[in-house]
Amino acid sequence: MKRTQSTENRLPDSREHGQISRRSFMQTMLMSGFGLSRLNGLGTVRSFSAQVSRPLSVAYQDWITPLHPGIFDVHAAFPDLLFLNEIPNFADAQNGSSPWDIYVGVTPFADIAALVESGVIEPWDDYIPAEIIEDIIPSIREEGSIDGKLYSWPFLVDVVVQSYNANVITRAGLADMPPTTWDEYLDNASAVVESGAAPIGCSFDPNGWRSLVAIAHTFSTDVYYTLEGDTTPLFDFTHPAAIQALEVMKQMLVHSTMPTANGSQYVSDEQVFESQAVGYYVTDHNAPLRFANLWDDPSALRLAAIPSGGTNSTVFWTTGACLFKNGQNKEIAAAYMQSLTYDERIWRDSIAGTETLHTGQLPPYQSLYAVWEENPPEWLLSNPWVELVREQIEVAKAIPNHTFGVRQFVIAKPHWENYLLGSESDPLVAMQAAKDAVVAAIQREG
């Protein structure tokens, strides 16, 4: 259920699909014309001849298959495959009794450090063909790795961008062009409201990794620090770029509320974008594609690089698959992931959309983009935003894979919101409290 909430209260965590919180912790190639022989040097799929005592078993986080139903077509190549559409019981994996080979649903910064530390997963390196490792976009390969080992086989790529409704922007008397700086963005958002083109000028996802981090990266990507005795960086909430990002969000919030008889209310970012009640929107690129697909005129959607604070960077993450250490079908598991992640039907449906769905998540492989650039299919030509998002992957930075990777933002959020919502007037005081709260939580866990 979508929520409406007064700005006197906390901003809601609105994303139901695509959510990357941990929640409870956690011989055939079917490519529909995209066979490996066309991918310039990728090896053949590994044989299914290994002797195993049970079929391949794959668990998915439950939001993935509804957004990518072509996954079930891939399953046709894997007879007797066991499928679970929910997060598996990782406690079973810790005691060695889990029946699952693969879990598709890990986001590296949110999941893999804790999974590696718990000992329930192992790297893919001994099973994934070397050609595929080399085919992964380098920044994505780094994102899914710890100590040089690939623990998350990447599947779906998301990048934080800006989007806008061209019909709203035109009614506001603004050019159908994306703002390139935060000052221009905020001025345009104000013009949307003042002109009456829409009740809300701009909106942003309230989760820190989709807003605070992305905006901070536009000012500097050097916004991480390492605690004494630690080896993996954390987000530095007191870094000048983080403070600048919070100040931008404060100004965005002014244009993100809707006047009511009971005062101003913050309305869910997803709700206002889907209902065409907002001009501009900052979040991961798949969200506006999904919601604009419900508009009476989806062609009014525009995607663009997030406004620049000087670096032209942003944040990205992937959703991928981890390999259970006690799984029985590791060679076949690699064959499955190879088949899944190179399947053109999945990418065609994600990029071009279907009659009922437009997901927009992108593949992690250099070779796919190279083939498409050389001989672009019609469904790609009609979606020019792909090139824009692909370019953003090159400049975006991933969040480091700390065991508190996502929790640091959950812990810190109430503190930085004290500044956004007015109970704290000094952004540095709010962000110091956020940083201190994260450090205290880490120290409590030892």
Question: Residue 37: is its pLDDT beyond 70?
Answer: no
What pLDDT digit, counting tens, does each position of 208-224 carry?
999 999 999 999 999 99
| Averaged pLDDT, 344-366 | 94
- Which two three-digit tokens encode residue 61? 């986080």
Of 149, 112, 131, residue with least CA distance to 20: 112
Provide the pLDDT confidence category of residue 446 given band limits of 50, 70 and 90.
Answer: confident
Specify the pairing of strand 234-235 against strand 257-260. Answer: unpaired
The mean pLDDT of 345-374, rounded to a whole number, is 95
Strands 316-324 and 224-225: unpaired
Residues of the chain with pLDDT > 90, as a percent, come to 77
Same fold, 4-13+159-315+401-445 and 36-158+317-395: yes
With 70 as the cut, is the pLDDT of residue 51 above it? no
Q: What is the CATH number of domain 4-13+159-315+401-445?
A: 3.40.190.10
End-to-end CA, the chain:
37
pLDDT for 26: 36
Could you tell me the two tokens for 430? 């709010």
The percentage of the chain sitting over the pLDDT mark of 70, rounded to a whole number, equals: 86
Q: What CA–CA distance (Å, rounded) separates 197 from 200?
A: 9
* 121: Cβ contacts below 8 Å, ≥ 6 apart: 93, 112, 115, 151, 322, 323, 324, 325
- Structural tokens at position 188: 């345009």
264 contacts 7 by C-beta, under 8 angstroms: yes
Contact 179, 143 (CB under 8 A): no
Q: What is the mean pLDDT of residues 430-443?
A: 98
Amino acid at 168: V
The rounded Cα 177 to chain-centroid distance in angstroms is 25
Question: How confident is residue 72, by pLDDT bands cut at 50, 70 and 90?
Answer: very high
In sign, the C-alpha dihedral spanning 208, 214, 216, 220 is positive
CB atoms within 10 A of CB 419: 23
Give how far Cα 207 sits from Cα of 35, 361, 429, Å. Answer: 39, 19, 20
Q: Is the pLDDT of residue 17 over 70?
A: no
Q: Is 400 helix (H, G, I), strand (E, B) or coil?
A: coil
What is the three-class DSSP state of 210?
coil
Is a pLDDT exceeding 70 seen at residue 83? yes
How do the domains of the chain map onto residue ranges? 4-13+159-315+401-445, 36-158+317-395
Q: Which of 264-278, 363-377, 383-397 is the least confident region?
A: 264-278
CA dist., res. 196 & res. 308, Å (int): 27
Averaged pLDDT, 134-154: 98
Which pLDDT score, from 0 to 100, does residue 88 have?
80
Q: What is the DSSP string of 291-336?
A: HHTTSS-GGGEEEEPPPBSSS---BEEEEEEEEETT-S-HHHHHHH
Report the pLDDT value the prediction gives residue 264, as an integer from 0 to 100. Answer: 52
Contact between residue 163 and residue 305 where contact means Cβ atoms under 8 Å apart: no
Closest of 139, 137, 108, 138 to residue 123, by C-alpha: 108
> Is residue 16 scored above 90 in pLDDT?
no
Averaged over 328-336, what is the pLDDT? 96
**Model confidence over 121-134: pLDDT tens digits?**
999 999 999 999 99
Q: What is the pLDDT of residues 146-186, one digit of tens each?
A: 999 999 999 999 999 999 999 999 999 999 999 999 999 99
Check residue 232 and report its DSSP letter.
S
**Averaged pLDDT, 255-275:** 71
Backbone angles phi, psi at 256, to 5 degrees: -110, 10
> Mean pLDDT in the chain?
87
Q: Which amino acid is at 372?
A: W
Token digits of residue 230: 């630690």
d(CA 367, CA 40): 8
The arrangement of secondary structure in 36-158+317-395, i.e. its CATH architecture, is 3-Layer(aba) Sandwich (3.40)
412 vs 428: CA distance, rounded Å: 13
Confidence of residue 10 (pLDDT cuts 50, 70, 90): low
In this prediction the pTM is 0.87
The H-or-E segment that residue 171 falls in is helix 166-171
